[in-house]
Amino acid sequence: MSRLVTIFGGSGFVGRYVARRMADAGWRVRVAVRRPNEAIFVRTYGAVGQVEPILCNIRDRDSVAAAVQGADAVVNCVGILNEVGRNTFGLVQHYGALHIAEEAAKAGVERLVQISAIGADPHAKSAYAETKGRGEQAVLEQFPNAVILRPSVIFGPEDQFFNRFASMARFAPVLPVTGGNTRFQPVYVDDVAQAAVLGVTGQAKPGIYELGGPEVRTFAELMEEMLEVIGRPNRIVLNLPLFVSAAMATVFDLLQRLTLELFKNTVLTRDQVTNLAIDNVVGEGMPGFAELGIRPTAMESVLPEYLWRYRPAGQFYDIRESAKRLRS
């Protein structure tokens, strides 16, 4: 019988790529998610019955225990960017990782891969980074041989980074950014998935790997590059001072609380402002793609493949621009 991997958050942005690669490698894949009815699409990644979504909430230890039963390996892809309702940073990124690690250890799981983030630190000022760091600690206490992956900002067709700002640029003449001088090292989602598979299959040595793509850019430079790709270079990238962004984020956070979360702050939070003040690049001397034998994918080879829909003429933009040059 083929081996079984349980992927927590396996229908999410990163998880779906891990699930597809594991199915291609011949593994049975259990996709543990809160809403399995919305994850039916993962079944198409393999043969009939090979990939199966199941109900699991990592805040609930019993559902985690059920999800890891019989699994040979576990991958935790669950993470949040802002807190809504019971999904707080602490419950999801710290205690969720703790539940997964403890229950996987009890079930005799051989390998565990934790998707974390660059900047994860149990002593960080940001609640996001702090709970990512505490989640790593919880995993390593139970699985000293775990593989922990810390990617920089991740890009790909379903990302919430370039897609979000490209959508804004369709209508807004000015694109405001917080931390415009902060450096990032964008990494392609399928490269992160490939690294996770190496961890599951034992081809990656245990330890922490920081994953960054071949390009280091400031936030403002990333936005300018994105504007070129979508054919809107005339948009103005406005670098907001951090104190202005912090004031705006405070208002949005307060509005979420006062409306009892009828308004969900997906615009900008105080915690995100804290994070955006710190460079998000691979640390000096940290193991990464090179040690995994992976050549990271450049942004320029991927961004046009999914950002074309934000161009003034969509898929016909290049044809229209070519026609303009012929007339001139």
CB contact at 8 A, 278 and 170: no
Strand partners, 175: 237
User: 98: closest CA among 146, 51, 55, 30?
Assistant: 146
Domains of the chain: 4-154+186-212+280-296 (3.40.50.720)
Residue 92: is its pLDDT beyond 70? yes
pLDDT of 161: 97
Q: Is the pLDDT of residue 317 over 90?
A: no
Using CA atoms, how far apart are residues 323 and 328, in angstroms rounded to an integer? 9
Query: What is the secondary structure of 163-218 as a DSSP string?
Result: HHHHHHHTT-SEEEEESTT-EE--EEHHHHHHHHHHHHTT-SPSEEEEE--S--EE
Amino acid identity at 98? L
Residue 326 above 90 pLDDT?
Answer: no
- Residues 201-226 have pLDDT tens digits of 999 999 999 999 999 999 999 999 99
Q: What is the dihedral of CA 49, 51, 54, 60, to 10 degrees?
A: 140
Sequence-distant (6+) residues with CB within 8 A of 299 are 155, 186, 188, 213, 215, 225
- Quick one: what percent of the chain has pLDDT higher than 70? 96
Average pLDDT estimate for 142-162: 97
Assess whether pLDDT exceeds 80 at residue 53.
yes
- Residue 9: half-sphere exposure toward Cβ, Cα within 13 Å: 22
